Structure 1
Amino acid sequence: MTEQTLSAGPGASAEAVDRSPALDWLDDAAADRRARHMRRVLTPRAPRDGVIDLASNDYLGLGLHPEMVDAAVAATRRWGAGATGSRLVTGTTDEHLALEAELAEFCRQPAALVFSSGYTANLGAVVALSGKGSLIVSDGGSHASLVDACRLSRARVVVVERGDVAAVARALAGRSEERALVVTDSVYSADGDLAPLLALHGACRAHRAVLLADEAHGLGVRGDGGRGLVEELRLAGREDVVVTATLSKALGSQGGVVLGSQRVREHLVNSARTFIFDTGLAPAAVGAARAALGVLRREPDLASRVVEVAEHLAAVTGADHPQSAVVSVVLGDAERAVSAAGRCAELGLRVGCFRPPSVPEGTARLRLTARADISEADLARASEVLAQVLAEHGHVVDPAPSATTLATAGARA
């Protein structure tokens, strides 16, 4: 390839000038995605576009909360736009340490360590707590970040069916490795069901293993005032239970955290590669997350509001009784799910659309996420749109929930 080839001139497409046959397989892959209705595109949103949002993970509606915005601005003015380095060099500020202390206190855990995202928190924790010569038992419903962490761990990995505690116990009992780690979501991300954490912990305790639970969809929604499912089940503070979570969902900010004992935190500071070699979380995100915790402490009923709204959405769509913010309406065929999501958008309602590989083949779905801040009027309009669109796509349910259900959910919003 010559220098002249790369210099295509103003306005010219570098891709058109220099197209390599080494990547022609990408065309076949793209064609296959289109044929199976699996093609994904980036669609920018406006900050306030009037669309009713049942797709985002901003469960508590804190993303635009004035206190969070002000805290993010204040942190940026004090510390700058970025963390300037890894946490072990220049990327730790007083703000980071304060957030870790507040997260630990809120979740009733001994210690916390903040990462740049929930994804890196999972990668860092799983790899650092396992490694060559250990066993990881991975729940089949685990998030992709946990799956990737298992692949990077160099441990022997056994994948069991979602929620199969007996299979977990068998894998642990039959192991030859000294160390073992069981990983699972606390709230499964695709459908919002709860993992059997108590039974899983029992299996771990019986076989000298550690349970790692990802509270990405539990923090802010389950537990006392949104402290998570681990706290709700009184597992918080057990040293053989490690919790990961994201700050980008219910807390409306960005970043991730690992919660556990002081010696787990110490080990991660020295061993978690996604902590050691990654730039620290930006001060703005740290400040916003701290403000979100303040709001949640002051308004603990926000968590219960989310579940009430979810119950209403389930009644409208005929979905299973929800246990979290997530309401899953399975339509089966990917084309059907994409069409239904597009139709909702045309009518002013934004919903999630989950297709393989995010969910198993034949279970493409609309994924609705309840919000604590949705108004009674928006909830009523969303209900009308969902009933209409589902009927148009052959998924007929009772188009109107009871007046009591609507009034209860709306009054709390």
Structure 2
Amino acid sequence: MAEQRPDLRRRVQSARSSALADDLVRRRRVVGRRDGVRLEVDGRWLQNFCGNDYLGLAQQFQVVDALQNAASRDGAGGVASHLVCGHHVAHEALEREVADWLGTPRALLFGSGYLANLAVQQALLGDDDACVQDRLNHASLIDASRLAGCRLRRYPHADAEGALRQLKTVPTGAAMLATDGVFSMDGDVAPLRQLALAARMQSALLYVDDAHGVGVLGPGGRGSVAEAKLGVEEVPLQLATLGKALGGYGAVVAGDTDLIEHLAGTARPYLYTTALPPAQAAASLAAVKLARREHWRRDKLVAHVQRFRDGARRVGLQLLPSDTPIQPVLCGGNARALDMAAHLEADGFWVAAIRPPTVPEGRARLRVTLSAVHGDEQVDALVEALARARDRVDALHLG
């Protein structure tokens, strides 16, 4: 008698029951209106400390004006894939601007950072090749290795010697060493100079997903690669997202000319999807130009990070070692993180509770993110609210 096939509905119900029991169910919240760092949710205005609009460009008037003007001329859609008839002059201008900003010869525009990471590995790696990755890399980098079908090896977080050891375990086939530039849940920066040395010693290509670094770190906001004083020779490909510090949507892979040309001609996530709307590209172009010249935005971020960390230490919050706008407050258990987030919301602050599998078991946290358009008084008020939330939750749990 043939074995009975599993019922997918029952599997889903079982998984959901387990998630409920472990405080791991995620739910969407509906934002009614946005006004800078203020969001209206369920009829209440909350101070937003969980978004990625680090430079405050998402609603900047020149960026919005560029979007509206381009939409009035070119419409709302991308019409077709880039290699059919979807590649617009706005896309070309954005690619050139980002390449010039990051100091690379070429750049290629994608619909999202997720697609870009899938594209890079799918186009460059095959069954006989290997990708060595930091254990805390973004999920899209891990999924990209699975799509490519290559051998995936992971090393302890930020451990360049561990990366070198893993590269040595796959001596045959081509190799890529892939890392986040800034780690999205911890906020720390990868040891890029040491990783570049490990890659060179093992003839591997170093690829840096700098989604949370470009616009924020380095000279002129050029990101963690530039901050590490590395160039295209050491980092042949890097990713710059348009949806975080630049406030828009999409991503750009910048780097070596031959590699970019290869991606444009062979990467399935590039070939078989509609191009980003030209209006969105025009908005991102305006945002890049502002990010390049308005250094005060980064200066303000640096000051906010220091102010938050000083305040958090003063009230005894448990932080991770991060000098970026991502400031995780460790909570431990999932229920504790959710309870603290609920108390913060009651006080008018929106801070996301991050739980496994996004972070390791027992390392649930409140992921505080700072923006150049926050005020000093808002940062101070958040610190006070975090301390109150911790004390209330601890009193409840101890009671």
TM-score normalised per structure 2: 0.91
Give the drift of 1:239.
5.8
2:376: which partner in 1?
A: 376
CA contact (8 A) 1:239 1:261 kept: no
The amino acid that maps onto 1:41 is R
Per-residue CA deviations over 1:204-257 (Å, capped at 9, x if unaligned) read 111111001100110111101211010111212226531012110000000011
Equivalent-residue separation in structure 1 for 2:307 and 2:351 (angstroms)? 15
2:83: which partner in 1?
A: 88
2:123: which partner in 1?
A: 128
2:3: which partner in 1?
A: none
1:310: which partner in 2?
A: 305
Give the drift of 1:130.
1.3
Give the drift of 1:22.
4.6
CA contact (8 A) 2:311 2:380 kept: no
2:332: which partner in 1?
A: 332
Q: 2:137 pairs with 134, 142, 145, which one?
A: 142
1:255: which partner in 2?
A: 250
Does the residue aligned with 2:254 lie in a helix, a strand or coil? strand
1:198: which partner in 2?
A: 193
The amino acid that maps onto 2:388 is Q
Does the residue aligned with 1:285 lie in a helix, a strand or coil? helix
1:31 and 2:17 aligned: yes
CA contact (8 A) 1:247 1:289 kept: yes
Does the residue aligned with 1:51 lie in a helix, a strand or coil? strand
CA contact (8 A) 2:208 2:235 kept: no
Give the drift of 1:197.
0.6
Give the drift of 1:380.
2.8
2:266: which partner in 1?
A: 271
CA contact (8 A) 2:182 2:190 kept: yes
Alignment length (residue pairs): 376
Equivalent-residue separation in structure 2 for 1:174 and 1:142 (angstroms)? 20
The amino acid that maps onto 1:28 is S
Give the drift of 1:51.
1.5
1:5: which partner in 2?
A: none
Equivalent-residue separation in structure 2 for 1:90 and 1:391 (angstroms)? 59
* Unmatched 5+ stretches in structure 1: 1-19, 396-413
Equivalent-residue separation in structure 2 for 1:207 and 1:197 (angstroms)? 15
2:37: which partner in 1?
A: none
* Aligned structure 1 segments of 4 or more residues deviating by more than 3 angstroms: none
Does the residue aligned with 2:116 lie in a helix, a strand or coil? helix
Per-residue CA deviations over 1:267-301 (Å, capped at 9, x if unaligned) read 00111110001111122221111111121122123
1:226 and 2:212 aligned: no
Q: 1:42 pairs with 24, 28, 32, which one?
A: 28
Taking only the aligned residue pairs, the percentage that are identical comes to 36
1:62 and 2:48 aligned: no
The amino acid that maps onto 1:38 is L
1:181 and 2:165 aligned: no
1:347: which partner in 2?
A: 347
Equivalent-residue separation in structure 1 for 2:154 and 2:233 (angstroms)? 24
Does the residue aligned with 2:309 lie in a helix, a strand or coil? helix
Equivalent-residue separation in structure 2 for 1:186 and 1:169 (angstroms)? 18
CA contact (8 A) 1:182 1:210 kept: yes
Equivalent-residue separation in structure 2 for 1:107 and 1:28 (angstroms)? 47
The Cα RMSD (Å) is 1.6
Give the drift of 1:75.
1.6
Give the drift of 1:64.
0.8
Give the drift of 1:25.
2.2
2:394: which partner in 1?
A: 394
CA contact (8 A) 2:241 2:252 kept: yes
Does the residue aligned with 2:328 lie in a helix, a strand or coil? strand
2:366: which partner in 1?
A: 366
Worse-superposed segment, 172-181 or 225-234: 172-181
